[in-house]
Amino acid sequence: MPERLTPDSPTAARPGRPRGATAALVLADGTVLWGRGVGAAGRRVGEVCFNTSMTGYQEIITDPSYAGQIITFTFPHIGNVGTNVEDVETTTPSARGVVLRMDPTDPSNFRAMQHLDAWLKSYDLPGIAGIDTRQLTRRIRDAGAPTGVLVHAPDGAIDIDAALAEARAWPGLEGMDLAREVTTRQAYSWDQTPWKLGEGYGTAGEGSRHVVAVDYGAKRNILRQLAGRDCRLTVVPATATAEDILRHKPDGVFLANGPGDPAATGQYAVPAIRSVMDKGLPVFGICLGHQLLSMALGAETRKMELGHRGANHPVKDLTTGKVEITSQNHGFVVVPESLPGDVETTHVSLFDGTIEGVRSRKRRAFSAQYHPEASPGPHDSHYLFDRFIQMIDGKS
């Protein structure tokens, strides 16, 4: 059970601490959740969120969009298939830590190469196990994502008061430009194509189309989906200007996913996107890229009371009437009332009615709030990449 603190409560010999506890999750409201440490030792502060996916924990932990966040997994058997070198979305994970119901078991999967505990240590990521994740998830659902500090101390020396003070001092994600922290530092080419059983990842050819991808925190599988559609990719930093992008002479421009407050990143990203659209180039955005594109088209964004994170989110395509089961990870959303008249909503969430996609009637630009690359998740939304290719080819 969680221990409730008051701001002046002492930490010495505090009652209620379980024997053998080597980790704690301390929330800014004073809640303390004791558990067993996994992964690296250390202390991390961040926004505590939850993800409802039953698969893909390795991709989730390495998704750059989780920068600044401590991920609570609602599925209890995290670690059961181990880890490998293929299922990662970035070189260096940006998540702050993980919260688990059960201790990771020895992996049972033919692709497993490393135990989750060892894998977390290799990336210097701390975790806590033995938490009542159902209770924590309900708390987040009802009161919003709290700030928290995750402490893993193998010797059991955990200073709760220091952790509580750090949690209360952390400013939160609103107003944070985290894209600068996770983006590439220089432009590079990408030619890896999607994974196939028994073959692994492929290599693209020269490509009949050239796409410039702006990296606000891009997942590798998004780039693979584009490369697998006969595209030659050049990835540029989040801070790239329109001149930097146009210098590569692209046939289309992709705006990647990423973490943080779109209003903060938009200070430099929106002017570049507007200038690119002024040139008539096709533009496609995903997640943060969707929010930035919407802002470039004249809309506004806001932080959600409860973000979307999981692989089971139903979304309706208003242009076809079809419903997709989507993979999502976002805590900000486009404000419907702020959309200008020449921008239409193309997709909506069937959970809460929020905007999941837009399209400009005047520009060659569209976007999706969710993740059509679908790793983790089903393949329902791959058609969005095909729409982008058709737009580049002048067929839509």
Active site residue ranges: 287, 371, 373
CB of 69 within 8 A of CB of 47?
Answer: yes
Q: Where would I find the beta strands (DSSP E) of 109-172?
A: 126-129, 147-152
* CA–CA distance, 114 with 82 (Å, rounded to integer): 6
Q: How many angstroms separate the first and last alpha carbons of the chain?
A: 56
Amino acid identity at 231: C
Nearest-angstrom CA–CA distance, 120 and 127: 8
From CA 345, how far away is CA 28, in angstroms rounded?
37
Provide the 10 A C-beta neighbour count for residue 243.
9
Indicate if the alpha-carbon torsion angle 189, 193, 195, 198 is positive or negative: negative
> CA 270, CA 336: separation in Å to the nearest integer?
18
Report yes or no: 121 and 104 within 8 Å, Cβ to Cβ.
Answer: no
Packed helices 383-392 and 220-227: angle between N→C axes, nearest 10 degrees: 50
Write the DSSP assignment of 20-44 as a string of letters: T--EEEEETTSEEEEEEEEES-EEE
> What letters, b where the CB count within 10 A reaches 16 and e where it falls short, cover 183-204?
bbeebeebbbbeeeeeeebeeb
Cα 239 vs. chain centroid, distance in angstroms? 19
Tell which residue, 384, 365, 255, has the closest CA to residue 320: 384
Query: H/E/C letters for each residue in 251-301?
Result: CEEEECCCCCCHHHHHHHHHHHHHHHHHCCCCEEEECHHHHHHHHHCCCCE
* Calpha distance 258→219 (Å, rounded): 8
